[in-house]
Amino acid sequence: MNENRSSRIHARRKRSRRKWARVGKSTLLFSVLAIFIVGTYYLFQTAIDGKHASPNTQPTPDNTANQKTSVQLTFVGDIMMSGNVEKTLLANSFDYPYKHVSSLFLQDDITIANLETPITATGVAAQNKEYVYKSSPLAVPAMKTAGIDVVNLANNHSMDQGVPGLLDTFDALDENRIEYVGAGKDASRAYSPVFIEKNGIKIAILGFSRVIPETSWFAGDSQPGMAASYDPTLAVKAIQDANSQADLVVVIAHWGKERSDYPVDHQKELSRAYIDAGADLIVGGHPHVLQGFERYNDKWIAYSLGNFIFTRSNEPKTWETMVLQANCTKSGDCELTMLPFHAELGQAVPMNESNGAALLERIESISESVDIRSDGRVQPRAKAAETAP
């Protein structure tokens, strides 16, 4: 009895081992088959995805450098924080002027303005001058916070508080890491460019003034002052030198006649001399009103950007201003877009659609062979097709 029972148990165990062996083999076969199917699908899907994928989607060292091959520059006109503007800022805040523009300034590569005032708490006021400005150093941090990177000092107000005021201006800008052009502790510094590299593009920025109240303001060998361009020899040489070192050369020019819609002869002459020397883009100021655009030898000239952060006069044209955006390549080609703004007392405010459209049309009408699209894009006017005689 025990022997028969033992035989039956042994037989059941043998059958069970054969059963689990068959199950194990089936499981192994199923696993191998599943891996094969999944792997084949993955390879097939990868091949499909790879066919339709952009070749530049993976950030390799080669294509990462080429993802952005241009720089976005933003230009605005005259800025000063004196007199009634200062009262407005004290009543609001030093950030008040930039409420509507800081987002534009902070998203570009470089923002450049014309600083039409000395920054000083002391200084010696200029004599025999109708308008004498003086702005507090407390206003400068807000400029930096708003995104202003470079200012031009070559103008007819930077020395309104004498040499001491100019030196204080240098110090205030240096302390807030804002670069400046167009003035210096001597002529060498005044005529020197600021070099900035962005997106693999080396930009040289220079500033010159054809409007200076007196020759004592001219920078000399050991004399602080302005980079004057009444005689353009030094300015032209500075541009040539900058052109040999940079990919893109930008000139900020202070020139022209106040409240005139059109450039005068010296603006035309200087702009051509600057471009012939190697300037890729010229942006002007001083007239306190907007002037038009011109293209010379495939390079853009914006003759005047008018006021930006300023007082309010009785002349409505001085209330019109713009933010000028330039998208420039390493080869020095620039595309311009103008954004219409009102220059309110101490603050630049975007124009509404109808006023903006009217301003675009007006600036087009005073420009030379230029079309300005409804989106503000500035383009050379296409030449009329020649007709057969």
List of residues 6+ apart from 1 with CB closer than 8 A: none
DSSP class per residue in 249-268: EEEEEE-S-TT-SS--HHHH
Distance between CA atoms of residues 88 and 106, nearest Å: 24
Band (pLDDT 50/70/90 cuts) for residue 365 is very high
Calculate the average pLDDT of the chain: 88
- Give the position of tokens 């009785």: 314
- Among candidate residues 351, 346, 294, the one with its CA nearest the CA of residue 322: 351
**More confident of the two residues 83 and 2:** 83
The 10s digit of each residue's pLDDT in 235-247 is: 999 999 999 999 9
The 10s digit of each residue's pLDDT in 294-353 is: 999 999 999 999 999 999 999 999 999 999 999 999 999 999 999 999 999 999 999 999
CB atoms within 10 A of CB 259: 13
Task: Find the angle CA(34)-CA(38)-CA(42) to the nearest 5 degrees.
Answer: 170
**Which H or E run includes 12?**
helix 2-52
The 10s digit of each residue's pLDDT in 277-290 is: 999 999 999 999 99
Distance between CA atoms of residues 252 and 347, nearest Å: 22
Reading the block at residue 17, the tokens are: 């081992």
Residue 133, pLDDT > 80, answer yes
**Residue 356's Cα: distance from chain center in Å?**
21
Band (pLDDT 50/70/90 cuts) for residue 249 is very high
The 10s digit of each residue's pLDDT in 65-76 is: 444 699 999 999
Reading the block at residue 68, the tokens are: 């952005």
Distance between CA atoms of residues 118 and 80, nearest Å: 9
The 10s digit of each residue's pLDDT in 298-310 is: 999 999 999 999 9
Query: Do residues 80 and 113 touch, judged by C-beta distance below 8 A?
Result: no
Query: Do residues 193 and 205 touch, judged by C-beta distance below 8 A?
Result: yes
Q: Alpha helix locations (H) across 278-380?
A: 353-365
- Residue 324 sits at φ, ψ, to 5 deg, of -105, 120
Q: What is the pTM of this model?
A: 0.82
The 10s digit of each residue's pLDDT in 144-186 is: 999 999 999 999 999 999 999 999 999 999 999 999 999 999 9
| pLDDT at residue 383, as a whole number | 74
| pLDDT at residue 68, as a whole number | 65
| pLDDT at residue 6, as a whole number | 45
Query: Do residues 369 and 380 touch, judged by C-beta distance below 8 A?
Result: yes
Mean pLDDT for 94-112 is 98
Beta bridge pairs of residue 293: 302
**Residue 11's Cα: distance from chain center in Å?**
90
What percentage of the chain exceeds 90 in pLDDT?
Answer: 80
| pLDDT at residue 382, as a whole number | 85
Residue 56, pLDDT > 70, answer no
Residue 202, pLDDT > 60, answer yes
Residue 189, pLDDT > 60, answer yes
- Give the position of tokens 């020197």: 192
**Which H or E run includes 16?**
helix 2-52
Task: Find the angle CA(168)-CA(176)-CA(286) to the nearest 5 degrees.
Answer: 65
| pLDDT at residue 43, as a whole number | 40
| pLDDT at residue 362, as a whole number | 98
Query: In this structure, what DSSP letter does residue 279 have?
Result: -
Distance between CA atoms of residues 227 and 246, nearest Å: 20
List of residues 6+ apart from 48 with CB closer than 8 A: none
